[in-house]
Structure 1
Amino acid sequence: MTLLARRSLLLLPAAAVLARTVPAAAQSPAEKALAESGPLPENSFGSASAPVTVIEYASLTCHRCRDFHLQTWPAVKQKYVDTGKVQFVFREFPLNALDAGGFMLARCAGEKRWHAVVDMLYRTDDAWAHAPDPLEGLRGLMRQFGMGAEQVNACLSDQAMLDGVNAVARRGSIAGVTGTPTFFVNGRKASGMMTVDEFSKLIDPHLASR
């Protein structure tokens, strides 16, 4: 993935468990990158003391990411996160300017609204990601979160925010992410859209050993 260069996104055309288990001095560059949260606050669900930590790197224009978020994530949350078995961490891995812009808007909406904005963007991708004017589509969609056109424009022009999103993705690349969605289950990498049953096969062995 080529990280976005410095530019205004207003020019958009029509990206912890290891830190607990591996001593810092013994970590490889990939393990260290995965263990570091980056310059932006983590977006996580579940208890930090859960026996399993899942880190997902996702993009907003990725249909497999959308399908996981809409079809699999609710059941994973109910089965594992809400029961204290898994802490689930979402991290940005923009593949293009639209991805970065959507993630920036989710951040600008506030930490408590991040997931709601991401959920909305996945459910309405035809209204922005595949629209003739994606920027206008994003402006319209963000009104429901109290962000007017000027606030959207200001957010998408925030170089520090763009740098932060890119830094999260850069760490993902070092950790071994080459596409989305990519998951790390207690540090072990798995890629692609998965059903609940497929996801359970990754998580349950870690729980059985407890």
Structure 2
Amino acid sequence: MTDRKFRFAAMSRRAAVTGAALAAMAALAGCSGSGSGSSTEGDMAIGASEGAKVTVVEYASVTCGACAAWHDQVWPEFKAKYVETEKVRFVFREFPTPPADVATAGFLVARCAGEGQYFNVIGAIMDSQREWAAGTPPRQSLLRIAQEAGLSQEEFQRCVTDEAAIAAMEQRVRAAAAEGVSGTPTFFVNGERVSDVSLEGLSTVIDAALAEG
């Protein structure tokens, strides 16, 4: 899936090293934790405003096949039922998985595209996993998606080699590890981890929380 030229030449040396560091953080993360529903630095959220009765937190990676499947098969209905109606606050937290340097670059591109386009770019990158499986270098897909979001090739390159942004990503991964996140996708509803992440499984927990007095 990974194009070595992209991994070790097109990104900065720090970004390539960070990929290994992020993967190590994920591997060392514990298996328990509360998955705090409170806001953390760098959160990307849509739906209801902060302080909503129900907050759903997803930890995901743009290189995770299961995450791409969830966003393809469950997200459209989930979004229509809970996000667009502002019944819940949906928080997306980035947790790069192997190849972590590609995931990191993807998340950086989504952030560089701006908050208004962030979720659309995340979805486009997850969709591009099919291209990678067919032999398209990830860098080619990421550059195309960045340009479709309005970034020039030069802006794309600056984006994926931004050391301050990469350092902030490392901090977010450490925060996820502290919450006990060890894989993706991982979901929490009001701080409680949910194992059944089908629409039905999530709805059972969300609807019960919404119905509470």
TM superposition score category, shorter chain reference: 0.7 to 0.9
Aligned-pair CA distance for 1:36: 4.5
Please give the alpha-carbon distance, in whole angstroms, between the structure 2 residues aligned to 1:146 and 1:63: 26
Match of residue 192 from structure 2: 188
Q: Percent identity?
A: 36
Match of residue 23 from structure 1: none
* 2:7 is equivalent to residue 7 of structure 1: no
Change (3 A) 1:71 1:132: closer
Alignment match of 1:94 (pick from 93, 96, 99): 96
Q: Which segments of structure 1 move beyond 6 Å, counting only runs of 4 or more? A: none
* 2:38 is equivalent to residue 35 of structure 1: yes
For the aligned residue pairs, the C-alpha RMSD in angstroms reads 2.7
Match of residue 56 from structure 2: 54
Alignment match of 1:198 (pick from 189, 198, 201): 201
Please give the alpha-carbon distance, in whole angstroms, between the structure 1 residues aligned to 2:17 and 2:142: 11
Q: Give the AA of the match of 1:182.
A: T
How many residues in Structure 1 have an aligned counterpart in Structure 2? 188
Match of residue 211 from structure 2: 208
Q: Counterparts of 1:147-166 in structure 2 under 5 Å?
A: 147-166=151-170
Q: Which runs of 5+ in 1 are unaligned?
A: 1-5, 16-29
Q: Which runs of 5+ in 2 are unaligned?
A: 1-12, 23-32
Aligned-pair CA distance for 1:167: 1.4
TM-score scaled by structure 2?
0.77
Please give the alpha-carbon distance, in whole angstroms, between the structure 1 residues aligned to 2:103 and 2:192: 25
Q: Give the AA of the match of 2:207.
A: D
Aligned-pair CA distance for 1:122: 1.4
Match of residue 133 from structure 1: 137
Change (3 A) 1:59 1:205: same
Please give the alpha-carbon distance, in whole angstroms, between the structure 1 residues aligned to 2:178 and 2:107: 20
CA contact (8 A) 2:187 2:195 kept: yes
Q: Once structures 1 and 2 are overlaid, which stretch shifts more, 198-207 or 154-163?
A: 198-207
Aligned residue for 2:93, secondary structure, equals strand
CA contact (8 A) 2:35 2:191 kept: no
